[in-house]
Amino acid sequence: MTARKLAVVTAGLSQPSSTRLLADRLTEATVRALDGVEVEITVVELRDVAQDVTNNLLTGFASPRLDAAIQAVTGADGLIAVTPIFTTSYSGLFKSFVDVLDPQALTGMPVLLGATGGTERHSLAIDYAMRPLFSYLHAVALPTGVYAASSDWGSADGLSDRIERAASELAAQVRTSDRAQNIRDPFALPEGFSPVGAFGAQ
Amino acid sequence: MQFGIFTVSDVTTDPTDDTTPTEGERIKALVTIAKKAEEVGLDVFALGEHHNPPFVSSSPTTMLGYIAAQTTDLILSTSTTLITTNDPVKIAEDYAMLQHLADGRVDVMMGRGNTGPVYPWFGKDIRDGIPLAIENYALLHRLWREDFVDWQGQYRTPLQGFQSTPRPLDGVPPFVWHGSIRSPEIAEQAAYYGDGFFANNIFWPKEHYMRLISYYRQRFEHYGHGTAAQAIVGLGGQAFMRAKSQDAVNEFRPYFDNAPVYGHGPSMEDFTAQTPLTVGSPQEVIDKYAGMREHFGDYQRQLFLMDHAGLPLKTVLEQLDILGEEVVPVLRKEFAVNRPADVPEGPTHTALVAKRDAAAVSLAESSLVEPAETAEVTA
């Protein structure tokens, strides 16, 4: 079996960040759940490419560093996407990164949604903000999202169970995915395209 | 190999002294710049088309006709002509008229435009951008080649027995380039007709355009217009030069940092590393552009954007002096080295007339042998 590619996008701004901490926990659990399947993991810390993301918004093209991150994310078999919740939603940096992706690039991508926040009151942000975003992109957002409030890191139960459940859902998708092996032709013409138009050369 | 300049006709505040030319001043400056291009030995002046401020070029053939009257050798072109929102009948008429007035020194670059509201302003839907470009050009192509055209399409009123006037000069339409920065459909269209393909590569990294141009070349060969190496390719470019490299960097930086397209984004150093923009000595510009054909193959036309970001007219004219006197003569020699003899030169009316006449002769000769074949060739 060929190695599966797993991409991890984490939008935490501090270092170390609890967002990265959650991303790492989700990644470890997913690898465990994949049980023996070889996995190549690419972690994209958006903080490291924050300037490049802004420049891409302004110029329309990705720097080589950002392009490498985009290729790793869009060419993966599965994606773990974790953002802090700011002012009731995903962070601006997280959304900006999603905005520079080709809108078709995540089609069919299994995505484990994760989020962190100061209090558990924002836990539904995964379902009212993140989930519609990935639905729009035709990604496969997995049923279990994992929200970690500050208090969860000092709690004996709950978070670990959610991580394990979400990871097993992602692992099941990644195990059978052939996404990373698909070769996409950037010059594929739309079906039925004619260089003289629908009415022909007349 | 043709060298020239292209302009978007923007009215932009000079960030170093906060002055802004009036529309009238900018329009006259464009004429001065075009005449300067001829004076310093450049081959082409290409003018954009826009329908919103801060751009002044809404009526390219008016300006190009005015420039044609004051020049003798300069090829007048566009960058681009909006094939999506203009009526192709009017394009056929306007540019045939310009072609006559300019004694054939005219070609046209088709583009879709990147300003969303222009579509609804002209009664179109931006989601139809590609189909409009395809269908409108299919009609334009016929209007220039057939005396009487019956036409039905999706986007304009049908035509019965319509003749666009004036007929193209010497019966040979202006050469057409198709400009695109990302759409394979437009590269396919250019290849299908055997037209030129212009990749305005000035804002993005070369790898993207290497793939796009390579695709166009392959399709050009597929449609039987020649080998991939013989496809007609044009590229954009940008430069700012002073005798001392650091002087160029210091002088251009405030313009770069505030430029409408890339200002307040990447550093000038990053941008020059990732795109064709070259800020430095004339030799640095020569080195950068002499290397282009290694990435894109031997090509036919190189256009430079020289008059944007609020640069004052005086500076632009100085830049054209450097470009015409120090850079282009060296590039002409560099591009001629090891250029295969069967790679076409940049398109001119004279060459197109000669090619048409040669084809007619060979057709006449072959028709003596196989008369049945001629119908297909003339169709």
Test B138 with A199 for CB contact under 8 angstroms. Answer: yes
3-state secondary structure of B19: strand
Domain count, chain B: 2
Residue B95: how many other CB atoms lie within 10 Å: 26
Question: What local confidence, expressed as pLDDT, does residue B328 receive?
Answer: 98
Shortest alpha-carbon distance between residue B265 and chain A (Å): 5
Cβ under 8 Å to A: B residues 130-189: 131, 134-135, 138, 142, 150-154, 184-185, 187-189
- What separation, in Å, do the N-terminal and C-terminal C-alpha atoms of chain A show? 53
B193 to A187: CB separation less than 8 angstroms, yes or no:
no
Instruction: Report, as an integer, the average pLDDT of A70-74.
Output: 97
Nearest to B134 among A54, A60, A197 (CB): A197
Which portions of chain B are predicted below pLDDT 50?
373-379
> pLDDT tens digits for B15-61?
999 999 999 999 999 999 999 999 999 999 999 999 999 999 999 99
Tell me if B184 and A187 make a contact (CB, 8 A cut-off).
yes
The domain that holds B310 is classified in CATH as 3.20.20.30
- Shared domain check, B300 and B374: no
Confidence (pLDDT) at A15: 87
Do B19 and B6 fall into the same domain?
yes
Do B309 and B367 belong together in one domain?
Answer: no
**Residue A132 burial (CB < 10 Å; 0-12/13-18/19+)?**
exposed
Relative orientation angle of helices B184-193 and B129-143, to the nearest 10 degrees: 10
Tell me the mean pLDDT in the region A117-123.
Answer: 93
CA-CA distance, B52 to B10, in Å (whole number)? 10
User: Which domains does chain A show, CATH number per domain?
Assistant: 4-180 (3.40.50.360)
* Residues B359 and B239 both lie in one domain: no
Q: Which two tokens stand for residue B26?
A: 């900018």
Q: How confident is the model at residue A183 (pLDDT cuts 50, 70, 90)?
A: confident
Q: Quote the pLDDT of residue A184.
A: 77
* pLDDT reported for residue A155: 85
Let me know whether B305 and B365 are in one domain. Answer: no
Count CB neighbours of B22 within 10 A. 10
| Mean pLDDT (chain A, rounded) | 94
ipTM rounded to 2 decimals: 0.84
Burial class (CB in 10 A: 0-12, 13-18, 19+), A119: exposed
What was the pLDDT predicted at B152? Answer: 95
Return the higher-pLDDT residue of A113 and A179: A113
Same domain, B205 and B282: yes
SS3 A104: coil
In chain A, the percentage of residues whose pLDDT exceeds 70 is: 98
What is the distance in angstroms between the CA of the first residue and the CA of the last residue of chain B? Answer: 31
Same domain for B312 and B367, yes or no, is no
Q: B66 and B206: one domain?
A: yes
Q: Which of these, B67, B76, B78, B140, lies nearest to B106 by C-alpha position?
A: B76
Nearest by CB to residue B188, choosing from A59, A186, A189, is A189
Q: Where on the phi/psi map is residue A147: left (φ > 0), alpha (ψ -120 to 50), or beta?
A: beta
The arithmetic mean of pLDDT across residues A31-40, rounded, is: 95
Searching chain A, which residue's CA lies closest to the CA of residue B185?
A189
Q: Are residues B60 and B31 in the same domain?
A: yes
Is A189 within 8 Å of B184 when comparing Cβ atoms? yes
B356 and B228 share one domain: no
Contact residues on chain A for B189, CB-CB shorter than 8 A: 195
CB contact under 8 A, A61 and B274: yes
Determine the residue of chain A that is closest to B186 in CA distance.
A195
What's residue A1's pLDDT? 63
Residue range of the domain that includes B377: 348-379
